[in-house]
Amino acid sequence: MTTLSTSVKRLQAEGQEGTAHAAPLRSIEALRQAGFIGAADRDALEAVAARYAVSVTPAMAALIDPADPADPIARQFIPDAAELTTLPQELADPIGDGAHSPVEGVVHRYPDRALLKLVHACPVYCRFCFRREMVGPGGDALTGDKLDAAFAYLAAQPQIWEVVMTGGDPLILSARRLREVAKRLAAIPHIRIVRWHSRVPVIDPARITAEYARALKVPGKASYVAIHANHPREFTPAARAAIARLADAGHVLLSQSVLLKGVNADVETLSALMRAFVENRVKPYYLHHPDLAPGTSHFRLTLEEGQALVRQLRGNLSGLCQPTYILDIPGGAGKIPVGPSFLNAAATPGVEAQVEDRHGRRHAYPPP
C-alpha cells in the first residue's frame, strides 16, 4: 500500500495549487531520518508499513517531541510494532460498511443519510483508523462511471436528506473537484444537508485557504464540516486560522474525536481538547469509542473506563463542551450513545428515580 497511485498523486498535487508544501513523511526510512524511530526498530516497523499506510504531514511532524516516548502526537501517527498484533475480535471492516454499500463509494446505513466516499487516501494515516484495511496511498478516487453511479443512487433515494462526505479524507481533493461535487449535490432537491468529515484543518492547515473554504459550500444546502482532532496540541496557530476560515465561510463546525489510550484518555487532556474545539467555534459532537480495527488494541480502553471519563466532564465543563460518547456496533448495526447514566431506579413509592449530581450524590425525583 505504500506506492502512490497516479490518480491520487494528481489529486494531491491539484489540492496543493498555490501553496508551498513540504513533502509528508511516507516511509519508515523517512521517519528514521527525521529522528522519530530508531534503527533497531526499523525491521519491525517495515513490516507494519508493508501492511498499513504511513504518512505524517509536516504540520504534525513539527509537533512531535522525539525525546518523549509517550508523545501523544507521535502515538497517533508513528507506526508501532503493536500494530502487528491482531486480536480474534478485530475485524477488517469493523463497522460493517460493506454490508450497507449498495454501489461503490456509497454507504447507506440509516434511512435519511448516506456516506459518499470520494477518495480512499488521506494526507495522514492514523494508527487507529477503523478503515485502515481499505484506505491508503494506493487507494483510487471515485471518478467516471463509478462516481456517476454513486450520484445516480443518491438521486434515486428521496429519503436521503443528508450526505456525509468521507473517505479517506475528501479534503485531499482540489478546490476544482470539490466544486464539481458540490454542483452535483446541489442538483438533487431532497438532499438538504452536506457534511464534510476531515482531518485536514488541523493536520494540513495550509490547504484550507479562503477559496478552498468557499469551494465546500453547496448552493442551496446547509453545510457542515466535522473536524477530527484528538489532542489539544493539534490546535496550532495555523490550525486555528484554517478553522476560522471555514467558520467565516459560513460552515457549521462540529467535532469528531476518538477516545485513545495514551493520547487523550485522561480528564485533563479530554477537557482541554473539548475547550479548544469550543474556543474555535467547533461544537463537540462525537467522541468515539475505538473500533475493533486490526492491530489497534493498544489504543482501546474499556467502555466502563470511557464512561468514567465522560462522567467527569459533566458538571466540570460548560454544556457547550460535552460530546456524545458513541460506540459503533461491530458488523454494521450502527452507532449508539454509551455515555454514563445519571438515573437510578427508586424503590420508594412516589419517587420516580434517584438522580445523581456531578458530585456523586443521589437525590429523589421528584422530591418526597
- Quick one: cell of 70? 509517550
- C-alpha to C-alpha distance for 208 and 170, rounded to whole angstroms: 13
Check if 321 is active-site.
no
Task: Please name the residues in contact with 210: beta carbons below 8 A apart, sequence gap of 6 or more.
Answer: 245, 248, 249
Residue of 26, 75, 126, 311 marked catalytic: 126
Residue of 26, 109, 132, 245 marked catalytic: 109
Residue of 32, 42, 51, 110 marked catalytic: 110
Check if 126 is active-site.
yes
Check if 129 is active-site.
yes
- The answer to whether 294 touches 132, Cβ cutoff 8 Å, is yes
Cα-to-chain-centroid distance, residue 61: 19
Pairing of strands 324-329, 283-288: parallel
Check if 51 is active-site.
no
Give the torsion through C-alpha atoms of 204, 92, 260, 57, to 10 deg: -20
Check if 177 is active-site.
no
DSSP 69-120: TT-HHHHHHS--GGGG---TT--SSTT-TGGG-SSTTEEEEETTEEEEEEES
Integer angstrom CA distances of residue 17 from 20, 57, 285, 344:
8, 17, 32, 57
Check if 153 is active-site.
no
Residue of 26, 122, 169, 214 marked catalytic: 122
Check if 311 is active-site.
no
Cβ neighbours around 82 below 10 Å, total: 14
Check if 183 is active-site.
no
Residue of 75, 127, 131, 177 marked catalytic: 131
Residue of 113, 179, 261, 281 marked catalytic: 113
Q: What SS3 class is residue 17?
A: coil
Helices (H), the chain: 6-15, 28-33, 42-51, 58-61, 72-77, 144-155, 175-186, 200-203, 210-215, 237-248, 267-279, 303-313
- The answer to whether 361 touches 329, Cβ cutoff 8 Å, is no
Q: Which residues are catalytic?
A: 109-110, 113, 122, 126, 129, 131, 291, 328, 335
